[in-house]
Amino acid sequence: MPLGPRHLLAPLMLVLFPLAGCGDDGPVRLEVTVQGWSGWSREQPAPVVTTHELDEGETFTVDLVGYDDVVVTVVQVDGDQVALETSRPMAAEGEDGGFDVADPCTAFSLERGGSVGFGTPTLDAGSTITVAER
């Protein structure tokens, strides 16, 4: 069967626009700071900081105060942002520094070189997590 113009265009597009919009600018180096807290005590545990170098689809696990662990997956890495997904709904950190415990979600993103915060959706004790690209 002879090749027509449509068959020649596809390879040309791959050369000119290789994998445009597919992400995967990884691996990405993430610094994860976990701060446990309790409203019942003046003394709070020291924050725990870990660093992970991850590609799309890879995960890290965070120990939470008062909850089962949460697994965080790097969903997409591209030139502008890193998209994350958590295995359980978490409260997103707002611009004012508070956490939206009334509407927890599982999708979070951070700008490249930036950070994102989320925490357990509770008011008495839990953990806050900050993920920053380093």
| pLDDT confidence of residue 22 | 55
Rounded to whole angstroms, what are the CA distances from 77 to 1, 120, 132? 40, 25, 13
Task: Say how far apart CA 37 and CA 127 lie, in whole Å.
Answer: 6
| pLDDT confidence of residue 3 | 55
49: its two tokens: 């900081």
Residue 5 burial (C-beta neighbours within 10 Å; 0-12, 13-18, 19+): exposed
Contact 128, 37 (CB under 8 A): yes
Predicted TM-score of the model (pTM): 0.80
Report if residue 16 sits inside a domain.
Answer: no
Report if residue 4 sits inside a domain.
Answer: no
Report if residue 98 sits inside a domain.
Answer: yes
Task: Say how far apart CA 130 and CA 114 lie, in whole Å.
Answer: 10
Q: Which stretches in the chain have pLDDT values below 70?
A: 1-24, 26
| pLDDT confidence of residue 39 | 85
| pLDDT confidence of residue 15 | 44
| pLDDT confidence of residue 19 | 44
Rg (CA), the chain: 20
Range of the domain at 40: 28-133
Structurally, the chain folds into a number of domains equal to: 1
Q: Residue 93 forms beta bridges with which residues?
A: 99
Report if residue 18 sits inside a domain.
Answer: no
pLDDT digits (tens, 9 = 90+) for 97-107: 889 999 999 99
